[in-house]
Amino acid sequence: MEKISMSRFGNCNEHYRFYTMEHFLLNQKRLGFGAVHLFGGTPHVWIDAYRKDEGADMKSQISDAGLRCASFMIETSSMRYSLGLIREADGKSRAYFDRCYAYAAELGVELVHLQANGYCLDDSIESRKNRMLEDLAREKHRAEEFGLKLSVVNRTGDATNLIRSLTDMQEMVAALGEDAPCCTAETAFFYAFGETLDQWLDGLGEKLVQINLTNTLFDGGRHAWGDGYLNMGDLLDTLEQRNYQGELNCGCMVRSYMQKPWLWDESTAEQISFLRG
Amino acid sequence: MDMKLRHDQIAGMNLIYKWHSFEYFLDAMQELGFESISIWGGPPHFDCDWKGWQDTSYIRKGAEHRNLKITGFLATSTNYRYQVGVTEPEHRERAFQYFANGIRAAAECGSPSVGINTGWGYRDMDREEAFKRCADMLYRLCDVCRENGVYLALESLKSLETTVGVTLSDIKRMADEINHPSLRIMPDTGAVSYNGERLEEWFQVFGEKIIALHFVDGMHQAWGDGGSPLADMMQTLEQHGFKGPLMLETSAGKYMTDPKEADRKAMAVLSRFVK
């Protein structure tokens, strides 16, 4: 059974919002992470309905730092643009998502992640779910036009997001069939529905293309390793036993981490090093 | 405790209603007996960017229809894209245009002021440079406020959110640096408490320059949930004869699925101090 090496783990810049991209990259290289899972929000990436940064510039910056860019996460947490708003008349979310895809293509990644949010709670749940399915199927094919593979990540903090659990993910995949996007699992949220990594691997098979390996304090945050209740050793054993070959992203996000984010990355790197040498 | 607020000083805010429609928020305000509201000018309720802003007539008419007075407007900026202290020159002008458009939208809504924070600079870069950038941007925005007949209401942030405008002394220094007739101060009781300060200290320093309050219990919780010394705060407001709006900028995530209940609870707590 092959052990997962440190270089297979990636990290995300989301909790470095108050630091430069250079600062983030230097710390990732120093700590031995092999890949960057780029979060597409400011200050590191500017994309809106009207313009975008050059993805190729970021690609060079990451490779010059000796790192690989493994995936791109579309920023919709501010709800200025979201999946649920794409069909609105002003066309801004449509334009935003297209610019995100163009940026990701320039970045040279294959995988683009999104969360299925922006579905207002005073609409009926049936109506919201039906709209989401149509939106995800359309976006899967739209992303493919840019040479990208779209993947949906489970998130629990935003109730306008309709993919929160393994059951939600499986229902989406079953409903859309070949039109279903891929799936990304965020381990920090498994507790909310009593789920296990084995269940996600069994339930989604090859549809599961990335695992965001994050810890939890049962508070809705995505915690670093060394700051939560999950056992990374158990999760890594499972991944190795199952010969998991997809991406691994240790990107955490808790507001209080943003003051000194590298401390939390050090904690995660230390755990990986302790467990896998 | 003799302090009695006017009922219309307590202003509901739509921030915790952002998982619901704006209409839902307005209906909730009417149902709960609010007489005034402060608009949180963020998505999905209001669309403003560096190119323009949404027609505000639905806000004005929606409020008028429900007899709600608009007493404040917040140009939201703590998450992504726009912030006052932005470093990158190519993003800086877009940030200015965004906030200027927010000011114009606020004026259209009939709000007397526009809430704003100091912004922030990268923590691995020089703080003084960030301070100067923020002061420069805020001065320019004060000019836009003057042109539009509204005040710029500056609030502090928590130390988690910036290194530029955290403490009372930071805001005093910033206000002195800007020194513009359109600048006013808006203490945020969440940030004030988080930073270990007292509302009284803010009134002692700024007095009548305080135009409004972001009025929350502790860490932006609904009144009754945060343990703040409400009676002491009310005494401060009375001693200083404060007549401006108390904007309920409740934002804790636990309220967002049922924001109306949070405001119902807050109104029940605050009604003890209403005439």
pLDDT at residue A89, rounded to an integer: 79
The domain that holds A213 is classified in CATH as 3.20.20.150
pLDDT of A12 reads: 98
Domains of chain B: 8-269 (3.20.20.150)
Residue A245 lies in a domain: yes
CB A72 within 8 A of CB A103: yes
Which chain A residues are closer than 8 Å to B51 by Cβ?
50
Domain assignment present for residue A142? The answer is: yes
Is residue A253 situated within a structural domain?
A: yes
- Kindly tell me the burial class for residue A6, based on how many C-beta atoms sit within 10 Å of its own C-beta (0-12, 13-18, 19 or more): middle
Within a domain: residue A212? yes
Q: Is A124 on the interface with B (CB under 8 A)?
A: no
* Pure H helices in B33-126: 57-65, 89-109
Q: Is A2 on the interface with B (CB under 8 A)?
A: no
Count H helices, E strands: chain B?
Answer: 9, 8
> What is the model's pLDDT at position B50?
96
Report the Cα B106 to chain-centroid distance in Å: 12
**pLDDT tens string B208-265:** 999 999 999 998 999 999 989 999 999 999 999 999 999 999 999 999 999 999 999 9
Phi and psi, residue B96, nearest 5°: -60, -45
**Residue A268 · residue A252 · CB < 8 Å:** yes
| A89 compared with A43, residue with greater pLDDT | A43
Mutation to test the B interface, candidates A13, A79, A218, A255, most B Cβ within 10 Å: A79
Is there a contact between B190 and B222 (Cβ–Cβ < 8 Å)?
A: no
Do the chains contact at B44 and A82, CB–CB below 8 Å? yes
Q: Does some domain include residue A149?
A: yes
Nearest CB to B19: which of A19, A121, A259?
A121
Q: How many residues does the structure list for chain A?
A: 277
Q: Are A77 and B256 within 8 A, CB to CB?
A: no
B245 burial (CB, 10 Å; 0-12 / 13-18 / 19+) is buried
Residues of chain B with pLDDT under 50: none
Q: What is the domain count for chain A?
A: 1
* Residue in B44, B88, B90 nearest the CB of A85: B44
> For residue A277, what pLDDT band results from cuts at 50, 70 and 90?
confident
Classify residue A277: in a domain, yes or no.
no
Residue A29, in any domain of the structure: yes
Tens of pLDDT, residue by residue over A145-164, are: 999 999 999 999 899 999 99
- Chain B residues lying within 8 Å of A45, measured CB to CB: none
Residue A98: predicted pLDDT? 98
User: Nearest by CB to A159, which of B120, B125, B257?
Assistant: B257
CB proximity B18 to A under 8 Å: yes
Instruction: Report if residue A276 sits inside a domain.
Output: no
- pLDDT at residue B2, as a whole number: 61
Give residue A199's domain range: 6-271
Q: How far is B274 from chain A (nearest CA, A)?
A: 31
Q: What is the pLDDT of residue A88?
A: 85
Write the pLDDT tens digit of every residue in A221-259. 999 999 999 999 999 999 999 999 999 999 999 999 999
Closest CA to B199 of B165, B170, B162, B239: B239
**Which residue, B211, B203, B214, B209, is CA-closest to B247?**
B214
Closest alpha carbon to B84 in B100, B107, B108: B100
Q: Is B91 on the interface with A (CB under 8 A)?
A: yes
